[in-house]
Structure 1
Amino acid sequence: MIEHFTHGVLTPVIAYAVSVIGSFVGLMFATRARRSRGAARGTWLAFSALCLGGTAVWSMHFIAMLGFHVPGTSIRYDTTLTIASGLLAVAAMGLAQYLTVVRSGTGWLLAGGAIAGAGIVGMHYMGMASINMHGHLEHNPLFVGLAVVIALVAATVALWFAQRIRGVPAILLASLVMGVAVSSMHYTGMFGMHVTVNDDPLRGPVPGSTAPELLLPLVVGLFVFLLVCSLLLMLGVDDTAPRRRSGSDGQDGERASDPASPGNETGRYTGRHSTGSAWDRPARDRGASPERR
């Protein structure tokens, strides 16, 4: 019988927390990307894709798999497929966010949601394909379908959040919802699995890496990456800060700061007093008129 919670609620709670943190930082970067232009936008989108695809989705899946156990066989993971599944999730989130943030519009949102959802599903089942054991693993089509629906909805909602929400409280609430959606998709797919163990007494060792062997570099890299991202968010210069509103000619800011600019009476008088003749000054400063003198 398959065990999904070998360590009790510890693994699902940690996996959910990691998903929420990754979603929060990723959505914060998406907000920056939405308000930026040029190279800055591309940088924020890249960081957002890494946080959402690499942390909120892929890392959540891998940490949750620490509680997965099949009695009668060891479980190992193919390192290449495991890493490839993470890259797939990041690439899908990056493309989906580009379509949503740069292109905008309902049609692009739905297209981005489909791409991101497909990436999440592909990541999950590629990760499952990386499992090596003395047995055969099968998936129930009904649970696969439910997992696909949850992934599509979760991805579309995440992109909608990235496109529209503003403010830390709203982003935090969105991150909590995203964590629930991603975790639900993962365990829905896991509950639809069936394993047939091979009882051959001559079976050799299972090839691949154990979960702890992959977990240690993952955890270290994860927290270092999130720390760097958090510092970027807190200390990075926000080039999207609102500037002083300009007039129709776009030069009000310059005129306001230029003491000799047109429209500044004091500046005009000072400039003319220093360089022009006495007859350039206002009549009240030249004394009486010629007729009165």
Structure 2
Amino acid sequence: MTADVSNFYYGAVTPVAAYLMACLGAGLGLRCTTRSLRRPQRRAGWLALGSVSIGCGIWTMHFIAMIGFSVQGALVSYDATKTLLSLAVAIVVVSGGVFLVGYRGASPMTLATAGTVTGLGVAAMHYLGMAAIHTNGTLHYDTLTVIVSIAIAIGAATAALWAAVSIHTLWASLGASLVMGVAVTGMHYTGMTAVSVHLTGPSAVATSSAGLLSFLLVMLAGPFVVLIVAAVIVMFDPDMMLGDDNWDGAAPAAALADASHPGQ
């Protein structure tokens, strides 16, 4: 029997909170990448912080959204190992894309490569997180919708990486992070429309449990703290405190040239 599936068990709370976390991760990633271009001697550290911020933001977005996922007639739980593995995948793959554009610039070939790899990684994180679900049924996916969600992930990743090395002012970065939040959250909910659940066991009385909510909140605590720490580091960085006026002049061309030709 095919069960009724909802992604909005708690109404608009989960999609709005998920979107805000995606924006936070994207915004921090953009600012960290800008800092890496301004400070070549500390580039690796800023790129690493940006990668972790984007990865944690995407992963946190996913599992906040999953708090609103419910299957009528079935209890849902998660495998902790696969859940944490999906976080590691998100951070590692995003790091590959961010470091690639951070050191080699935003040439079309670099962006295409980094965006494709990162987008596939984001999609892998999403579907690995879905594979962590335990319920008295089996999950099935509509192939075409899955392909569309992967295409959105690649497009969003490419745009985010381009913005990371091309947008430098604070307000432009904030605007770009809002757009990236829409793209990343859109990828998630597009992927979720591909899901159907076929019950294979006896129906459960409840459709959600306090235990599941507690599990997800505990899992989210670590990445959320990481994002807060990253935000504090970015906000109190001297360059942020002084503003971007000098960066908007001659500095961008020199920094981007250095990123495109690291050996010079």
TM-score if structure 1 supplies the norm length?
0.75
Offset at residue 15 of structure 1 (A):
0.5
Q: How does 1:267-282 map to 2 (within 5 A)?
A: none
Offset at residue 116 of structure 1 (A):
0.6
Paired residue for 1:9, among 3, 8, 12? 12
SS for the counterpart of 2:6 is coil
Please tell me the residue identity of whatever aligns with 1:178: M
Offset at residue 236 of structure 1 (A):
2.8
Offset at residue 219 of structure 1 (A):
4.2
Q: How does 1:64-83 map to 2 (within 5 A)?
A: 64-83=65-84
Offset at residue 222 of structure 1 (A):
3.8
Q: Alignment identity in percent?
A: 38
SS for the counterpart of 1:74 is coil
Structure 1: gaps of 5 or more residues: 204-208, 246-293
SS for the counterpart of 1:6 is coil
Q: Distance in 2 between matches of 1:214 and 1:49?
A: 25
SS for the counterpart of 1:157 is helix
Residue 196 of structure 1: aligned partner: 198
Does the 8 A contact of 1:69 with 1:75 survive in 2?
yes
Q: How does 1:1-293 map to 2 (within 5 A)?
A: 1-38=4-41, 40-55=42-57, 57-104=58-105, 105-200=107-202, 210-238=211-239
Offset at residue 198 of structure 1 (A):
1.5
Q: Distance in 2 between matches of 1:16 and 1:89?
A: 17
Q: Distance in 2 between matches of 1:211 and 1:22?
A: 24
Q: Distance in 2 between matches of 1:88 and 1:220?
A: 18
Please tell me the residue identity of whatever aligns with 1:83: L
Offset at residue 237 of structure 1 (A):
4.1
Q: Distance in 2 between matches of 1:119 and 1:108?
A: 16
SS for the counterpart of 2:139 is strand
Does the 8 A contact of 1:120 with 1:151 survive in 2?
yes
Q: Distance in 1 between matches of 2:221 and 2:133?
A: 22
Please tell me the residue identity of whatever aligns with 1:176: L
Please tell me the residue identity of whatever aligns with 2:26: S
SS for the counterpart of 1:108 is helix
Select between 89-98 and 216-225 the one with higher mean Cα deviation. 216-225
Q: Distance in 2 between matches of 1:225 and 1:18?
A: 12
Residue 207 of structure 2: aligned partner: none
Offset at residue 229 of structure 1 (A):
1.5
Q: For CA contacts below 8 A with separation 6 or more, give which structure has more relative contact order.
A: 2
- Deviation sequence 1:232-265 (CA, Å, 0-9, x none): 11323449x979x9xxxxxxxxxxxxxxxxxxxx
Please tell me the residue identity of whatever aligns with 1:184: G
TM-score if structure 2 supplies the norm length?
0.83
Q: Distance in 1 between matches of 2:220 and 2:195?
A: 27
Does the 8 A contact of 1:34 with 1:41 survive in 2?
yes
C-alpha spacing 1:174/1:71, structure 2 compared with 1 (3 Å): same
SS for the counterpart of 2:70 is coil
SS for the counterpart of 1:171 is helix
Offset at residue 74 of structure 1 (A):
0.7
Q: Distance in 2 between matches of 1:213 and 1:93?
A: 28
Does the 8 A contact of 1:34 with 1:102 survive in 2?
no
- Deviation sequence 1:112-142 (CA, Å, 0-9, x none): 0011101100000000000011101000001
Offset at residue 166 of structure 1 (A):
1.0
Does the 8 A contact of 2:63 with 2:220 survive in 1?
no
Please tell me the residue identity of whatever aligns with 1:87: A
